[in-house]
Amino acid sequence: MAIFAPVYRPSAGQQGFLARQQKRERKRRRDGEASESEDEDATLAFKQSPEPDEGQRTASFIHPVHKTDPYHVAGHPREVPLPPAPFPHAPVLDWKPAKKPAEEELAALNPPLYVAKESPEDRSTSSKRRHIDNLTTVLHTCMLRGDWPRASRAWALLLRTETAGRGMDVRQHGRWGIGAELLMRQRQKHPVQAPPFASPAGSDQPQGRTANVPTDYGQPAFTDEGFRLAREYYERLILQYPHTPRTQHTVNAVAFYPALFNIWIYEAQDRSKRARQRPDVDRPVSSSGSERSADFSTTSSTRGSAAAARQQELEEALPVAQRMDELMLSPPYDTSLALLQLRGMVGLWISDLYTSNDNRAPSDDEQDVLQRIGCVEAARSRKLAARQERERARGAASKVRAAGGELPIVMAHLLESDDEEGFT
């Protein structure tokens, strides 16, 4: 076997028949293997690539992709027409229809799964809203003018008016105070103003004085019926809107209780004031020698009526304090600053009522009478009760100051004063 290649290659004529046949077979075999490898590569590439649609298959063969092609850069296929102006200087506008809200889609089902609310532009709703606005204007105008019967009728119409199936919520915007004010004005007494310089016929009084005219003559007076209706109104609000974990951030009984106690206190004080201003015994106008005795009897009667009025005020104040003490045993009322301030003032009020009848020192004869009937012990018990009320007021003031609340001047002075002040 030759190691080196031959210097020359024999011609085709010199090659034998078998050698030529083997050469053709080798060439045919090489050509067949090359074609099979190309088919396998094409099949594998076709399987790995996504299936294009007919338009893309045609375009991929007709229009080869070039990275610098504007269509390729813009991501716009050639078979889709270009958008109108101002493209390409502005983005293509989205002409898709607006999506309906979920409420409208649910309402359009058959049967509907949701009932859409009436829009504010609805004719019936808008007219009713205008009607409510007019009633509100009438209400406040009548209250400013003092026309309480007409204001009460406007308030009643507002309470009965509904918008979209819902009535007025009296807790919003402080409307609950309007109802109490109107109820207090029910059957209000309006005394006729007398002339300032009129004198009764047949009297010996000088010109410029009137007989039996109270100091607040001409001012409207609240009636007991109005106070009772206002207190019942607040009691109903407390039952209707109690304090619960769900309503702790809304207007509830915590806001209504101070208003209820204020009405109650004002009722007791107003009744006592009217009783003290009402003369029980008319002073006789005479020039006889018995005028001095008449003055003494009138003074004694006035003093007795004033003492009776204060005693009646004390009897009406004690239930207020008892109700407040029972309420403030449980949270959240025990930490309410409004109730604590009010309880302190009520304690001072009751303490003053206890000691108001003991300020005058009795004479020796009266001392014997008092000792005989046992009123000295009663006076001591009144002083003890007054001291206890001041202690309760002091405790309420301490809680208010500890909570960072504002104290009235009287309660601040109570904290700084001595415990025995006023009881020696």
Residue 4 in tokens = 């080196």
**Residue type at 242 in one-letter notation:** P
User: Which of 35-44, 177-186, 242-251, 290-299 comes out lowest in average pLDDT?
Assistant: 290-299
Q: pLDDT band for position 424 (50/70/90)?
A: very low
pLDDT of residue 281: 40
Residue 15 is predicted with a pLDDT of 54
Name 115's Cβ contacts closer than 8 Å, sequence gap at least 6: 107
Comparison of pLDDT for 414 and 268, the residue scoring more: 268
Q: What is the mean pLDDT of the chain?
A: 74
Mean pLDDT, residues 60-74: 67
Three-state DSSP class for 34? helix
Average pLDDT over residues 9-15: 53
Per residue in 403-423, pLDDT (tens digit) is 888 888 888 888 887 655 444
At residue 244, φ and ψ (nearest 5 deg) are -130, 165
pLDDT score of 139: 94
Residue range 320-347, pLDDT digits in tens: 999 999 999 999 999 999 999 999 999 9
Q: Is the pLDDT of residue 53 over 60?
A: no
pLDDT at 151: 94
Cα-only R_g, the chain: 51
pLDDT of residue 212: 44
Query: What is the predicted pLDDT for the residue at 134?
Result: 92
Angle at Cα 382 formed by Cα 324 and Cα 274, nearest 5°? 70
For residue range 104-155, what is the model confidence (pLDDT) as tens digits?
Answer: 888 888 888 777 665 555 555 678 888 889 999 999 999 999 899 999 999 9
More confident residue, 200 or 74: 74
pLDDT at 178 over 90: yes
Query: pLDDT, tens digit, for every residue of 351-366?
Result: 999 988 655 444 455 4
Q: CA-to-CA distance for 320 and 318, rounded, in angstroms?
A: 5
pLDDT of residue 141: 95
pLDDT in tens, 360-384: 444 455 455 555 455 667 778 888 8
Arithmetic mean of pLDDT, 216-228? 74
Give Cα separations from 411 to 216, 241, 378 (angstroms): 29, 31, 28
Contacts of 342 (CB under 8 A, 6+ apart): 258, 261, 262, 324
Find the mean pLDDT for residues 91-111: 75
Other CB atoms within a 10 A radius of the CB of residue 340 amount to 26
Res. 308: pLDDT tops 80: yes
